[in-house]
Amino acid sequence: MCAFTPSNSKKKTVWIWTENKQVMTAAVERGWNTFIFPSNRRDLALDWSSIAVIYPLFVEEGRLIDHEYKSVAAFAEISSPQQLEQFQISEEQADKVVVNLLDWQVIPAENIVAAFQGTQTTVLAVSKTQSEAQVFLEALEHGLGGVVMKVEDVGAILELKGYFDRRRDVDSLLNLTKAIITHIQVTGMGDRVCVDICSLMRPGEGLLVGSFARGLFLVHSECLESNYISSRPFRVNAGPVHAYVAVPGGKTSYLSELKSGKEVIVVDQRGMQRTAIVGRVKVETRPLILVEAKVESENESYSILLQNAETVGLVSPLHGEGHQRTTIPVTSLKVGDEVLLLLQGGARHTGIEIKEFIVEK
C-alpha cells in the first residue's frame, strides 16, 4: 500500500477502484498498487496480479477483505448527513474505513473530516475526479487520510499524481541566495500586475518574480502597515506583465498569464514555500523602477522592474537571531543593499526549465 504527503497533513493513502487495465498500469507506475474489486471479480484481480505486483481488496458485506478473506477496512455507502451521524464501525474495523458519499455535495467533505477527527481511524473517501479528491484531502486543513479513486480514465490518475507532485514541492526548502543591489533606475510607465491570492501572507513572505527566469527576486506582500495605505496581506504588487513568476512544479508563468483559480508559490525569508490560489489579478499602468543585482563571485546580473511605490518591496536576507528586517521598499532601496534571489536555469519552454543555450539581457 502506497502513501504520499501533501504539505498540510500526514501521509495520504491512495487506493484505486477500476476495471480498466490502462488505469491499473498507470497507477502502478506511479506507486499506487492497492486496488478494489467487486466481490465477483476475483478473476480480474488474478489476471492483473500476473501482470504487476498489486494488493487486491474486495467489497463484501460492508467491509473490504483481502485475498485471504481477512478484513482490511470497513466500507459504507452514505447518502445523508443523518446516516453519517449514525454510522458506526466495529472495533476490528476501526483502523481504516472507506466511505462512498453517494452525494458529497449534500454531505460536505468537512462533515466527514469532523466526524472522525480525534480518532485513530484512517478514513478514505471514494472520489471520481482529481478535483473531488483534492477537496477530501484538504478539508478543514488536515483533510481525510486518503482517497479511493474510482475511475475508468487514465487522465484522472495522471492529474492526481500531478497534484501530489506539486504538494510535495512545498515540503522542500528553496535555496534562496543573497544578492547585492548594483543599479537602480527610474524608468517610464508600464502595465504592472497586482496578484491577490486567496490566503493571507505574513511578514517575510511574497512571490518570486523576475525579468529573467534564471534569477527571481522575492517580492514582499503588502501585509505591512504603511503611512499611505491600509495593509493588504493578500496582495503582492509583483511587477510588469512580461515578468516571470514561480508557480508549483518547478515552473514559471508570465504575470500576464495569471488569472483567478491559477496557483502560485508563496515563499518566506527562509525559503519555506506553500501553494496559494490566485483570487484576482489587477493590471494597471504605473511608473516603474529598474532594479539590478549581482551575486558575490558572479559576473552575471539579474534584474526586475517594479512599481515605484512605497508599498512595493524586496525581501532581505535573515541575519542571525532576534528582530529582523523583512523588506526594503523600492523607494528606499540603494546600491549595496542585500536582497533574496532564487537562482535557476534560464532556458524555458512553456514555463518548464530546459537545457538550452540562451542569452537574455
What integer is the mean pLDDT of 226-247?
90
Contact 213, 231 (CB under 8 A): no
Residue 359 has what pLDDT? Answer: 59
Asked which of 31-35, 183-187, 223-227, 303-307 is least confident by mean pLDDT, the reply is: 223-227
Q: What is the spatial distance between Cα 255 and Cα 244, in angstroms, rounded to a whole number?
A: 6
Mean per-residue pLDDT over the chain, rounded: 84
Q: Answer whether 314's CB lies under 8 Å from 220's CB.
A: yes
DSSP 256: G
Residue-wise pLDDT tens digits, 65-123:
988 888 888 888 877 666 666 666 555 555 888 888 776 554 566 776 776 666 677 88
Residues 258-280 have pLDDT tens digits of 999 999 999 999 898 888 999 99
Q: What distance in Å separates the CA atoms of residue 248 and residue 263, rounded to the nearest whole number?
A: 7
The answer on pLDDT for 50 being more than 70 is yes
Percent of the chain scored above 70 by pLDDT? 81
Quick one: pLDDT at residue 87?
64
Mean pLDDT of 217-227: 89
Claim: this prediction has a pTM higher than 0.75: no
Contact criterion met (CB below 8 Å) for 76 and 84: no
Calculate the CA dihedral of residues 158, 161, 163, 164 and round it to 10 degrees: 180
In the predicted structure, residue 253 carries a pLDDT above the cut 80: yes
**194 within 8 A of 206, measured Cβ to Cβ:** no
Residue 56: other Cβ atoms inside 10 A: 20
> What does the pLDDT read at residue 329?
93
Query: What average pLDDT does the segment 205-232 reach?
Result: 89
Residue 253 host element (H or E): strand 251-254
Q: Is 179 helix (H, G, I), strand (E, B) or coil?
A: strand
The DSSP output letter for 222 is: B
Q: What is the pLDDT at residue 356?
A: 55
Please enumerate in sequence order all residues whose Cβ is within 8 A of that of 126, keeping only pairs 6 or more positions apart, or say none. 17, 98, 99, 100, 101, 147, 148, 150
* Residue 5 or 167, more confident: 167
**How many helices (H) does the chain have, and how many strands (E)?**
6, 23
Residue range 147-159, pLDDT digits in tens: 999 999 999 999 9
Structure confidence at residue 10 as a pLDDT band (50, 70, 90): low
Cell numbers of 176, please?
534562496
160: which 3 cell numbers? Answer: 492526481
**What is the rounded CA–CA span in Å between residue 181 and residue 301?**
10
Measure the CA–CA gap between 243 and 224, rounded to whole angstroms: 24
Are residues 244 and 254 in contact, defined by beta-carbon separation less than 8 angstroms? Answer: yes
Question: Do 240 and 256 contact (CB within 8 A), yes or no?
Answer: no
Q: Grade residue 1 by pLDDT with cuts at 50, 70 and 90.
A: very low
Q: How many angstroms separate the first and last alpha carbons of the chain?
A: 50
Q: What pLDDT does 20 receive?
A: 93
Stretch among 13-22, 111-120, 232-241, 284-293 having the lowest mean pLDDT: 111-120
Rounded to an integer, the average pLDDT of 48-62 is: 90
Q: What kind and span of H or E run contains 332?
A: none
pLDDT digits (tens, 9 = 90+) for 159-209: 998 888 777 655 568 889 999 999 999 999 999 999 999 999 999 999 999
pLDDT band at 6 (very low <50, low <70, confident <90, very high): very low
How far is the CA of 214 from the CAs of 6, 174, 208, 291, in angstroms? 27, 14, 11, 15
pLDDT value of position 4: 37
Residue 137: its pLDDT value, please?
A: 84
